[in-house]
Chains A and B, each alone.
Chain A
Amino acid sequence: MKMEEMSVSGLDNTKLEAVAHEIYSDLVEDACLGLCFEVHRAVKQGYFFLDETDIESMKDFEIVDQPGVDIFGQVYNQWKNKECVCPNCSRSIAASRFAPHLEKCLGMGRNSSRIANRRIASSNNVNKSESDQEDNDDLNDNDWSYGSEKRAKKRKSDKNPNSPRRSKSLKHKNGELSSNVNADSFKYNYNSSIYYESLGPDELRSLLTTQCGVISEHTKRMCTRSLRCPQHTDEQRKTVRSLLLGPSALTLPEGDTAVDNDSYETNDGSVLMSHLHWDGSSDISPSDSGSSKASTNNSESKKPKKKKKSSLSTGGGGYGEGGSGGFSSFQGGALGPSNRKKKTKISTAPPTSVYNELN
């Protein structure tokens, strides 16, 4: 080729053709290399000869088209009915409930701390015997021990009788359930009417010192309103108390005696009267509980009526010495049956206010 034939811009056809061929060869070689790499990888990965599998093995992996079974032949809810053994408590739990159970059992997860706190709170309120306290500890440790579960359930149910759930069930059963609920919760729940038959004397006493207690004719239940409830007269309350606790117990409930604390009654009628005169209001109940605490001990022996939250608002001034004497005896006994949370509250009412008034 002469140099003149070569221009800057172009080449003659042969050159161009040669270049084109070259480019083409390069492209074909690229394609071949690509294939080689592909094949080599398939060989090394083991899937190169896959399409030559024998028919027998192919049948193993055929697509399944039966009802109730997925394309691999596995059953969908195979594990629903299975039971697993919890590694923590060694109980057999249904598979679908296993995860929540484990959460509670191990004490991890959002709810468990909430439940534990609730239990601690309730166990603090309950001033029961030692054994109960221990049980509470156990409760905290292992929510799922059988006994604690029952107790917990009970406590839970007692805790809030006015919870929406409860009222729902009430609605559903048109009030039929309410009586059951009430019966169950009478020990713990103040606010529902109470079947008085099932109460023990101590409980009755404690109840009657804080509640109106008048037995309704049609429901045969004690009124749970305060001692000054407008529906019933003091006469009625007196009657009820004499009925339930025996005539000797008829110490307090005449009219409104205010605070419980002073409700400590000796069998001395005059003291009683002074009690009655004593002006107290239910506001003083916290203080009352203190005195009522004291009174409890004494009441045990004397069968007096403890009015924890007696809204007996008798004339306060009349209390006088007898009252203070009574009070001193009060001090000894806290509310015996103050297991109930509400009762504990009441029992905390110290008669200090009364003393103050007296003094």
Chain B
Amino acid sequence: MPFKINSLTCFLPMPSRAKTNNMSKDLQMRAAINQKLIEMGERERLKELLRAKLIECGWKDQLKAHCKDVIREKGLEHVTVEDLVAEITPKGRALVPDSVKKELLQRIRAFLAQHSTL
């Protein structure tokens, strides 16, 4: 499984040379891409775009309803962030409509095509 490179991990130190070159090169490359994404403001734009699309398609309301159920289950006073995250995130990921997914991937690929020359 490839590393899941969070945007934040770009700035973490690279794994030691003991790992394969592929890996390190991979990591380097990903780090570089992420960095570029952020620097150019593309990541923010993509984020906003995704958010707008999800609200538009009703994903947010769906998930909010699910939240209500979770909260009623757990009790209003005792809900924690971790609870919510654990319950919501997998469902959220699953509920994203395909059209939104496709569009976003398209944009990302376009960006990569433009700026993959490092």
A40 within 8 A of B: yes
Within 8 A of B (CB), among A12-31: 15-31
List 9 A–B pairs whose Cβ atoms lie within 8 Å, in order of A's numbering.
A15-B29, A20-B108, A27-B43, A27-B47, A30-B47, A34-B51, A35-B63, A36-B89, A39-B64
**Chain B nearest Cβ from A12, distance in angstroms:** 11
A6 within 8 A of B: yes
Residue in chain A with minimal CB distance to B92: A32
A108 within 8 A of B: no
Q: Which secondary structure characterizes the binding site on chain B?
A: helix
Contacts of B101 in A (CB 8 A): 24
Check A31 against B22 for contact (C-beta < 8 Å): no
Contacts of B112 in A (CB 8 A): 16, 19-20
CA distance A338 to B30 in the complex (A): 105
Q: Which secondary structure characterizes the binding site on chain A?
A: helix
What number of B residues sit within 8 Å (CB to CB) of A?
47
Query: Which has the most chain B C-beta neighbours within 10 Å: A10, A21, A36?
Result: A36
Residue in chain A with minimal CB distance to B67: A39
Contacts of B34 in A (CB 8 A): 23
What number of A residues sit within 8 Å (CB to CB) of B?
35
**Chain A nearest Cβ from B99, distance in angstroms:** 13
**Chain A nearest Cβ from B51, distance in angstroms:** 6
Contact partner, B93, options A19, A28, A34, A40, Cβ 8 Å: A28
A55 within 8 A of B: no
Contacts of B89 in A (CB 8 A): 29, 32-33, 36
CA distance A34 to B85 in the complex (A): 10
**Chain B nearest Cβ from A5, distance in angstroms:** 10
Within 8 A of A (CB), among B75-90: 76, 79-81, 84-85, 88-89
Within 8 A of A (CB), among B17-48: 21-22, 25-26, 29-30, 33-34, 37, 43, 46-47
A3 within 8 A of B: yes
A37 within 8 A of B: yes
Contacts of B37 in A (CB 8 A): 23
CA distance A15 to B117 in the complex (A): 14
A sample of 5 more A-B contacts (CB under 8 A), given A36-B84, A36-B85, A48-B76, is: A9-B117, A17-B109, A22-B30, A26-B7, A36-B67
